[in-house]
């Protein structure tokens, strides 16, 4: 009996290991050469893998910085409100936004 011959193309990847989204960008020839050179000097297996790692790391850094920035602004706003309440209490004036008794 002869073995069944597969069709053209590469074999299917195991479930869950294939990437499902494509993020395409246009590059000038110099930019592509620069990225490919950087990928060769890294431990990545391909320029595509290297670019994915770098883009994801950069996006995570931006989002972490943005979250930290928002948290810092919110902290400053809350400290300002707390200081206003403390100042109002020490002066005996009604607290802003407080319900009178």
Report pLDDT for 32: 92
How much is the pTM? 0.53
Return the domain boundaries, the chain: 49-92
Report pLDDT for 3: 66
Report pLDDT for 42: 85
Give the model confidence (pLDDT) of 80-95 as tens digits: 877 787 777 777 766 5
At residue 43, does pLDDT exceed 60? yes
Distance CA 23, CA 93 (A): 59
At residue 79, does pLDDT exceed 60? yes
Distance CA 46, CA 5 (A): 30
């Amino acid at each position: 009996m002869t073995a069944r011959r597969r069709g053209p193309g590469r074999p299917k990847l195991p479930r869950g290991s294939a990437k499902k989204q494509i993020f395409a960008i246009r590059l000038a020839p110099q930019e592509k050469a620069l990225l490919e050179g950087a990928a060769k000097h890294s431990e990545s297996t391909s320029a595509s893998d290297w670019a994915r790692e770098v883009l994801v790391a950069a996006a995570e850094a931006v989002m972490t910085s943005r979250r930290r920035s928002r948290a810092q602004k919110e902290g400053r706003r809350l400290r300002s409100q707390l200081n206003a309440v403390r100042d109002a209490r020490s002066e005996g004036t009604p607290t802003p936004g407080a319900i009178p008794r």
